[in-house]
């Protein structure tokens, strides 16, 4: 028997259509755009600047029992991805070799950004500029990766030779520990002093210098003055000497 569309059934159907439409609009609303500033935290890793000192800090020295290593998040991009140590919506916490982002003021922008009273448009632009800086940093690290891996492989080979000498009785453990210290020192010197290492340092500094110039371009005159005064007081890292 054919059912009639009673007013009650029509009202139910209309209600379901309204609910479905509202859900569709909510899912497609642009209020969740990638650049919304509601989750912006100037003290987070999002505004930490990766420098050569951070690369050095990511390296763990060898011991007699284990090889030297590097935090894999540096070269595989994990630290620079969304939620990573240096990424968008990154955690607050420790940055740099001394594990405190206040130690080298130029390595984190929280101090100056909290002073500038940025409007929402400028905050969105600041996020975009930090994205660009991370891309710059990743390109420099990718360029250095091959030479870096060779340095680490050489240190690994030397450590294994020392361990083999201990196992064979040709070296005492005390002598071996001294050799390991020498291997670690040579490894870190190679990271710092090889042409590839120097190029990486210069490249990371160029990323930071470019970032500072781009920041000045989004600021008004009063903000630019404050930013320049802050930047002129930096005397460590890329700004030493």
Backbone φ and ψ of 107, nearest 5°? -85, -5
CA 202 to the chain's CA centroid: 17
pLDDT exceeds 60 at position 67? yes
* pLDDT (0 to 100) of residue 37: 61
More confident residue, 235 or 48: 48
CA 141 to the chain's CA centroid: 12
Pair of tokens at residue 83: 């939620």
Contact between residue 50 and residue 84 where contact means Cβ atoms under 8 Å apart: no
Listed residue (140, 115, 126) closest to 54, CA to CA: 140
- The per-residue pLDDT for range 151-201, each reduced to its tens digit, is 999 999 999 999 999 999 999 999 999 999 999 999 999 999 999 999 999
Confidence of residue 6 (pLDDT cuts 50, 70, 90): low
CA distance 16 to 200: 60
Pair of tokens at residue 202: 């210069």
Q: Which residue do the tokens 């240096």 mark?
A: 86
Confidence of residue 20 (pLDDT cuts 50, 70, 90): very low
* pLDDT (0 to 100) of residue 107: 78
Confidence of residue 111 (pLDDT cuts 50, 70, 90): confident
More confident residue, 238 or 124: 124
Q: Which residues contact 26 (CB under 8 A, 6 or more apart)?
A: none
For the beta carbon of residue 106, count every other beta carbon within 10 angstroms: 21
pLDDT exceeds 50 at position 24? no
* pLDDT (0 to 100) of residue 27: 44
CA distance 237 to 217: 23
Q: Name all contacts of 63-69 with Cβ < 8 Å and 24+ positions apart.
A: 63/180, 64/159, 64/162, 64/163, 64/166, 64/173, 64/176, 64/177, 64/180, 67/152, 67/155, 67/156, 67/159, 67/160, 68/152, 68/155, 68/156, 68/159, 68/183, 68/184, 68/187, 69/152
pLDDT exceeds 70 at position 28? no
pLDDT exceeds 80 at position 16? no
């Amino acid at each position: 028997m054919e059912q009639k569309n009673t007013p009650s059934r029509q009202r139910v159907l209309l209600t379901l259509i309204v609910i479905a439409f509202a859900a569709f609009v909510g899912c497609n609303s642009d209020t969740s755009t990638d650049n919304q500033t509601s989750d912006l935290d100037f003290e987070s890793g999002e505004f930490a600047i990766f420098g050569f000192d951070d690369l050095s800090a990511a390296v763990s020295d060898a011991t007699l029992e284990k090889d030297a290593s590097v935090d894999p998040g540096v070269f595989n991009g994990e630290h620079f991805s969304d939620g990573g140590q240096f990424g968008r919506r990154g955690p607050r916490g420790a940055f740099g070799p001394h594990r405190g982002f206040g130690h080298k003021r130029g390595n984190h922008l929280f101090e100056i950004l909290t002073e500038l009273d940025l409007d929402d448009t400028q905050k969105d632009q600041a996020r975009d500029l930090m994205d660009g800086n991370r891309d710059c940093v990743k390109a420099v690290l990718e360029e250095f990766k091959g030479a870096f891996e060779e340095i680490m492989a050489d240190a690994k080979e030397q450590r294994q030779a020392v361990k083999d000498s201990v196992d064979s009785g040709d070296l005492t453990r005390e002598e071996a520990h001294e050799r390991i210290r020498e291997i670690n020192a040579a490894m870190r010197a190679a990271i710092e002093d090889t042409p590839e290492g120097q190029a990486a340092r210069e490249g990371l500094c160029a990323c930071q210098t470019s970032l500072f110039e781009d920041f000045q371009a989004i600021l008004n005159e009063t903000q630019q003055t404050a930013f320049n005064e802050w930047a002129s007081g930096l005397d460590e890292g890329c700004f030493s000497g």
